[in-house]
Structure 1
Amino acid sequence: MPSRLPADCLNEIFDYLEEDKPTLHSCLLVNRLWCKISIRILWRNIWDLKYSVTYQHRPKVASAILSTLVACLPNESKELLYKNGIFIPTPTSKPPLFNYVAFCKVLSICEIGRIIDDTLEKIPITSQSLKDRKSLIANEIIKMFINQISSLKLLMYYLIKNIPYDISFDCFFGARNYLINLSELGCNSNLPSEFFDQITQICHNLQSLTINFENEISNELKKLISLQNNLKNLYLFAFDGGDWTNIIPTLTKHSNTLTKLHLYSDHDDNLPLSFVSLFPNLQEIKFSFSYVGTQFEDFEKLQNVNFPKLQFLSIPYQCPKPEYVMRFLENNGKNLKVFYTEENNRDLNLSIAKFCPNLINLFIVFSYNELDVLKTIFNNCQYLESIKIWCGDGFLSEKEVLETVAKYSPKNFRELKIYNDPVSELLPEDLESFFIIWKNRTPKKSLTLIIIKEYDSNLELNKENMEIIEKYKKLGIIKKFETKEYGEDESKNYI
């Protein structure tokens, strides 16, 4: 009889697969024990599962999630929906095999609203207004989560147009114990003051805080920020004229604990950036400004500030001025492990080679005549393992990039990401030549090749190219090949 690993060992092993959803799904079919352990992990953050599929399949997945949640509702909640003419089909007439909701560690009010919005038009409802229907379903699901979750790690509560605004706060804070260990909170700045007041009474140990700034910033929100004991990660988003200026004085308490700061704005107001200098222990800084042409002059005050622990830096297109960034890299580039820039500037690219010798991951844009700059970066950044490069009209060609990577990339290089603009023009003979050279490199490293696209990639459609890729996968030359939509490959930690 074959030996059987105990459940606690399987739990530890499966924990390492948390980001590998396909493997976890395959484990569901082995036996009941494997199924139970996999389900626990998959349902920790069921909202992440919704976005692990392609765009066209999301409505189907949203419907499946909502049906499962409705199946888990207590009988009184189901009866309430029936009485109000709301009939949501469930996967089976029998009770669910597991108490899925109890496995959750993440509660997303906005995602509950989204899955309701995605599927409501297909559900036969005979009474009440659309807003009342959404509110009723959402409140019953939220009450179930609150009553079933023993310890919540992440709460996301964003007001968007598809989310019912009349969430019952009485039920939301009815069972306080589930919020005691809350470590991450995401919210709008204009949520009712009552929400922030209640959260402040319960949670003093938030490590991560995300705020979407609207026009209103209450004193209760400032108090919530001020009373946290060990805030490490802060993400500030300014939408439609929103502004984080009013909370800057409140942030000073966290000057020594904050290690990660992301700032995002979608408008052209000259929002303050110099307050970043308040946090000398930052390890990760990400600026993201979608308004093209904004220079954010306030960054000038940061160019001479030293962040001795900084390892991750992300700078958006045309913001700030390249000369400011170059000076910033001169002061802070030595310890950088990850650098992301969409700015297309030769001098800035050369400064990366000069000031950032310890880079491991890099996203960079080269003009069509800057192949020498790429070679210089490979020569000076000997620890580089991964690079993402923009290819296409006005930029380096895929063929040039492949040849240069094969011949000049450092010995530990293992991952190439190519963004095609607009589509791949790579010929089979160029691809074959690249893999032959890569095969003969010393030391030998299996390569991960990722194509990033906004449109259908010609590389995928070219049968001969795909046959070459499969050939070198079988030989072990390619570790992994995949295509992704633009933006899908980015995360908080790596490019």
Structure 2
Amino acid sequence: MAYKLPVDCLNEIFEYLEMDKFTLHSCLLVNRLWCEVSVRILWRNILDFKFGNNDNKRSIKIKTSILSTLIACLPNESKKLLHDNNIFISTPTSKPLLFKYASFCKSLSIYWFNRIIIGALGSRKSFNSNSKYRNSLVASEIIKMLANRISSLKHLTYHNRDFYNHKVNISFPHFPGARNLSELYCDSDLPSDFFYQLSQICHNLQSISIDFQKIITNELKELISSQNNLKELILTAYDGSWTDIIPTITKYSNTITILSLYNFTDTPFSFVSSFSNLQELVISFLNGKLEDLKKLQYVKFPKLQILKIPYYHDCIKPEYIVNFIEINGKNLKKLYIGECINALNLSIAKFCPNLKSLFIIFKNGEPDVLKTILISCQYLESIKTLCGKYHSSEKEVLETVAKYSPNNFCELKIQRTTNSNVFPNDLESFFISWERRTPKKLLSFIIIDYKEYGNCCEEEVIKKYVDLGTIKFVSNKSVEEEREEEEEYYRHSLLC
């Protein structure tokens, strides 16, 4: 008699497969028990499914499948309403569904939901007032159904922006399950009754992300003020400014541990200095007040572990960031610097001895700077860098890492910006050097491409050393995939 794993064991195993939708989907076909366990995990974040190319056949098939299943979950009165409006969407089966799929959802993204509807109904190229009404009606009925079926919503993304200039308008319904919400991503100019509704029932948000438009309602401020467990703030200033909301968010200056600021306007950010318990700080700005950064350069954040400065304006003096790193570098575990400045790179070697993960950019012909960092940062486990015509030579990076990386080093990410200058024999030489290291450690070797910048011959060399056990988790990922995985991992590691 075959041994059957208990449900709790299967649950624990399948949880590890949550990010691997392809493998998890195959578990549906094993038997009824595996299907019951895996379908709950698959549908937990079904509306955050990453579709890739929106026009390819697989993407359209996925969208259509999700939408048709949700249509099958609708109550009879909603199905009749769609039918009366000449909206006919086929369902997966004429028989009753095996599961209450909608009730499994823990994450709802209005943006992705709009994409599913527009993609599945095929109205993107022939968008008119009639198709807009049809899409809005379908969206409203399904979201109303989800509001009644989802007992515990954990993640809500509500960006009411246009998708391909086609906005699907909805009226967000009363949503009792949102009282358990822990993450909210939204625009500042959403209807005030949406924020009011949440402020009355939802008091345990851990993470709030706001894209600021020109309107900021008092109801949004009230929603933020009513939280008891807020740990993360992500503020993005595109067309608007977070200036009016600063008094509200500084209420949490002692409890916020993750603060991310993306500033594309002339918006102040000196208030950051009051957040004394930050563990992660992201400051990315194409505009901003020079005096704010000048003040911030000398502020001490004793618990800061992760610092990301993806972009900053040319007028910002690099010494401001160097001074900040000098004061706060000792406790940093992860550092992401999106600019290529020699003095800044050397300051990392001098002031950040405990780094474990580093994203850094070198100009062409600066292997000595990488060497200095590898020698100085003896706890370093992972490096990600750009390689191409205007950046580091890929061959030089490989040679330097092979010779000087510390004992704990186990991950190398190379993001190619132009064609690779590495030949198969260069790659083989690197892997041989790595294999001879003492102590021996498996290497995660990851290539991140904007385009197909590799060469077919390198795949054979890579496969050879994967089979030999020299390297592992070799992948060729897009820039977008890499960014999403990184942000998701580090955000949850600090929220836990």
TM superposition score normalised by structure 1: 0.92
- In the alignment, is residue 190 of structure 1 matched against residue 186 of structure 2? no
Choose which of 437, 443, 454 in structure 1 pairs with 2:439.
Answer: 443
Q: Verify the 8 A CA contact 1:361 1:494 in the aligned structure 2.
A: no
Give 2:346's match in structure 1, choosing from 347, 350, 368.
Answer: 350
Q: 1:22 to 1:442 in 2, by over 3 A?
A: farther
Change (3 A) 1:296 1:5: farther
In 2, Cα distance between the equivalents of 1:296 and 1:20?
A: 44
- Equivalent positions of 1:286-325 (< 5 A) are 286-289=282-285, 291=286, 296-319=290-313, 320-325=316-321
Mapped partners of 1:333, 1:235: distance in 2: 23
With over 3 angstroms needed to count, the CA separation of the structure-2 counterparts of 1:299 and 1:74, relative to structure 1, is same
What does residue 251 of structure 1 align with?
A: 249
User: Equivalents in 1 of 2:59, 2:290: separation in Å?
Assistant: 37
Which residue matches 1:280? Answer: 276
Q: What is the match of residue 468 of structure 1?
A: 461
Residues 50 and 62 in structure 1, CA contact (< 8 A), matched pair in contact too: no
Specify the alignment match of 1:390 in structure 2: 386
1:70 maps to amino acid: I
8 Å Cα contact 1:107-1:145 kept in structure 2 = no
Q: Distance in 1 between matches of 2:398 and 2:427?
A: 8
1:32-431, aligned counterparts within 5 Å? 32-51=32-51, 56=56, 57-121=58-122, 129-162=130-163, 164=167, 166-169=169-172, 172-173=173-174, 175-176=175-176, 178-239=177-238, 241-265=239-263, 267=264, 269-289=265-285, 291=286, 296-319=290-313, 320-431=316-427
Q: Could you tell me which amino acid in structure 1 is paired with residue 205 of structure 2?
A: L
Whether the 8 Å contact between 2:365 and 2:393 is mirrored in structure 1 is no
Aligned pair in 2 of structure 1 residues 91, 443: CA closer, same or farther (>3 Å)? same
Query: What is aligned with 2:494?
Result: none
Deviates more, 1:37-46 or 1:91-100: 91-100
Label 1:223 to 1:62 Cα distance change in 2 as closer, same or farther (>3 A). Answer: same
The answer to whether the 8 Å contact 2:154/2:180 transfers is yes
1:180 is paired with a residue whose SS is helix
Cα distance change of structure 1 residues 223 and 209 upon mapping to structure 2, 3 Å threshold: same
Contact 1:295 1:318 in 2 (8 A): no
Instruction: Give SS of 2:170's match.
Output: coil
Query: Deviation string for 1:352-389 (max 9, x for gaps)?
Result: 01111111111100011211010010001111111111
Summarize deviations over 1:288-308 as a string: whole Å, max 9, x none: 23x3x8784421111111111
Q: Indicate if the aligned counterparts of 2:54 and 2:119 stay in contact, CA closer than 8 A.
A: no
Provide the C-alpha distance between the structure 1 equivalents of 2:76 and 2:352, rounded to a whole number of angstroms: 61
| 3-state SS, counterpart of residue 443 of structure 1 | coil
CA distance 1:371–1:195, change in 2 (3 Å): same
The alpha-carbon deviation at position 54 of structure 1 amounts to: 8.6
Query: What amino acid maps onto 1:84 in structure 2?
Result: N
**How far is the alpha carbon of 1:436 from its aligned partner?**
0.7
TM-score, normalization: structure 2?
A: 0.92
Report runs of 4+ in structure 1 exceeding 6 Å deviation.
52-55, 125-128
Is the CA contact (8 Å cut-off) linking 2:48 and 2:107 kept in structure 1?
Answer: no
> What are the ranges of 5 or more consecutive residues in structure 1 without an aligned counterpart?
none
| Superposition deviation, residue 160 in structure 1 | 0.8
Segment drifting more, 360-369 vs 56-65: 56-65
Deviation by residue 1:30-50 (Cα, 9 ceiling, x = unmatched): 211111111111111112323
The amino acid across from 2:258 in the alignment is: K
Question: For residue 167 of structure 1, what is the amino acid of its counterpart?
Answer: I
Distance 2:480 2:290 in 1: 23
SS in 1 for 2:278: coil
- Give the aligned residue type for 2:207: S
**CA distance in structure 2 between the aligned counterparts of 1:301 and 1:294, rounded to whole angstroms:** 13
User: Within 1, Cα distance between the matches of 2:141 and 2:21?
Assistant: 28
- How far apart, CA to CA, are the structure 2 residues paired with 1:262 and 1:483? 28
What SS does the corresponding residue of 1:458 show, helix, strand or coil? coil
1:423 Cα offset (Å): 2.4
Report deviation, 1:393. Answer: 0.8
Provide the secondary structure at the position in 1 that maps to 2:44: coil
Mapped to 2, the partners of 1:128 and 1:251 lie a distance apart of 40
- 1:426-464 CA deviation, whole Å, 9 max, x = no partner? 2011011111111111111111111111111323xx1x2
Distance change >3 Å, CA 190–CA 295, structure 1 → 2? closer
The answer for the alignment partner of 1:18 in structure 2 is 18
- How far off its partner does 1:316 sit? 2.1
Cα distance in structure 2, aligned partners of 1:23 and 1:397: 36
RMSD: 2.3
| Structure 1 position 487, deviation (Å) | 3.2
Q: CA separation of 1:59/1:276 partners in 2, compared to 1, >3 Å: closer, same or farther?
A: farther
CA contact 1:423–1:455 (8 Å) conserved in 2: no
Contact 2:262 2:283 in 1 (8 A): yes
* 2-structure distance, mates of 1:296, 1:80: 56
Retained in 1: the 8 A contact 2:267–2:288?
no
Equivalent residue number for residue 471 of structure 2: 478
Q: Percent identity?
A: 58
Distance 1:42 1:105, change over 3 A: same
1:326 and 1:405 map into 2 onto residues whose CA distance is 24
Write the letter of the residue equivalent to 2:68: S
Summarize the Cα distance change of 1:207–1:270 in structure 2 as closer, same or farther, 3 Å threshold: same
C-alpha contact 2:186 2:211 (8 A) present in aligned 1: yes
Contact 2:335 2:357 in 1 (8 A): yes
Figure out how many residues of one structure are paired with residues of the other and give that number.
483
Shift of 1:286: 1.0
2:48–2:109 Cα contact (<8 Å) kept: no
- The code of the aligned residue for 1:244 comes to W
CA contact (8 A) 1:271 1:296 kept: no
1:119 counterpart SS class: helix
How far apart are the structure 2 equivalents of 1:153 and 1:86?
A: 31
The CA distance in 2 between the partners of 1:90 and 1:141, in whole Å, is 14
Letter of the 1:194 partner, please give it: D
The 10-residue stretch of structure 1 (449-458 or 334-343) with the greater mean CA deviation from structure 2: 449-458
Deviation at 1:53, TM superposition (A): 7.8
